[in-house]
Structure 1
Amino acid sequence: MLLWIALIIGVLVVAGLSIYAGILLSRLRQQNKGIAKNQKKRLNYLHESIETIAKAMQQDQCPLSEGCIRIAVLLDNLPDAERHNFGKRWPSIHELYERIKHMPTHDARKEFPKKEIRKMDFERERFEVELEQPIKEDLQALMVWVKEERVKHG
């Protein structure tokens, strides 16, 4: 009789643990689906943002320097950015970014004397003129890549 009680208790414990494990596994699957959905939304947002900025740059609605800064940062935020080697893929975009990333923007500009701001603006504009054509070529290739990525990650 004691053996039967121990056996029944053992079966109940195993059944309870199995149910608990099933509940935890179900929660884990839901959590993983949520993470995957959020990652897909983030990736789509990054691709859409890159595409929008690139189009604006192509249509001269966005200064090349501003667009290059924004695109370079967005590309760096993509998963596996190092593996894709974006700097070598679109060298002109990254070259302009590297040349001007130290320059102050927005409120930080107000902390500099006007003469220094004019000097930096002149330098930035010179870089934009120098790199305009290669940047526009990079933008064409970038747009093709973004469209392929959006199809791939659907």
Structure 2
Amino acid sequence: MTNMLVSAASLIILGLAGYAGYLLTLLYKQGQRQKAARAARIEKITESIQTIALATVQQQCDLSEASIRLCVLLDAIPVLPQPDYRGRFPALHALYDKVKNLPTHEARAQQNKLERRKMDLSRSEWEAELESQILLEAETLAKFSV
């Protein structure tokens, strides 16, 4: 009777150990998929940053739009700890801070011409003030890697 109980207990323990091993294997595979997805996301964001930066250097993208797109992409890179991109690219972030809250699309269309002209003038002044620094930072970002 005792041998039977020991055998039954051994089978139960062996079954539970096998199931635990199976769950650990599933967990490992899930971790590998997450790592691969994270790496693919980093690669896609990096390519986008390089493309926008190159377009900025070639003056195919205006500075305000570039600052918004580049700052958002830099913040979206899934790395911890997050590097100090604000410190590395201060001109881009300075322009971003000035233009990020300007109305766009429908909100801009609802403003009268004088208000739009004032915003455009301010934006142009900010871009002119920071242009040379932003172009240098864009050259750096055209070769960006994490």
Instruction: Provide closer, same or farther for how the CA distance between residues 15 and 81 of structure 1 changes in structure 2, counting only shifts above 3 A.
Output: closer
Name 2:51's counterpart in structure 1. Answer: 52
Instruction: Provide closer, same or farther for how the CA distance between residues 81 and 133 of structure 1 changes in structure 2, counting only shifts above 3 A.
Output: farther
Alpha-carbon offset, residue 79 of structure 1: 2.9
Asked whether the equivalents of residues 54 and 139 of structure 2 are also in contact (C-alpha less than 8 Å), the reply is no
Name 1:43's counterpart in structure 2. Answer: 42
Secondary structure (helix, strand or coil) at the match of 2:142 reads helix
1:1-150 aligned at under 5 Å gives the runs: 2-80=1-79, 83-144=82-143, 146-147=144-145, 149=146
TM-score by length of 2: 0.93
TM-score by length of 1: 0.89
Alpha-carbon offset, residue 93 of structure 1: 0.6
Structure 1: runs of 5 or more not aligned: 150-154
Secondary structure (helix, strand or coil) at the match of 1:84 reads coil
Asked whether the equivalents of residues 64 and 128 of structure 1 are also in contact (C-alpha less than 8 Å), the reply is yes
RMSD (CA atoms): 1.5
Code of the residue aligned with 1:102 in structure 2: it is N
Task: Give percent identity, aligned residues only.
Answer: 38
Post-superposition Cα deviations, 1:58-117, rounded to whole Å, max 9, x if no partner, equal 111110110011001111112347641111111111111111111012222122222211
Counting matched residue pairs gives: 146
Code of the residue aligned with 2:119 in structure 1: it is M
CA–CA distance in 1 between the matches of 2:91 and 2:113? 29
Structure 2: runs of 5 or more not aligned: none
**More contact order relative to length (CA 8 Å, sep ≥ 6):** 2
Asked whether the equivalents of residues 67 and 92 of structure 2 are also in contact (C-alpha less than 8 Å), the reply is yes
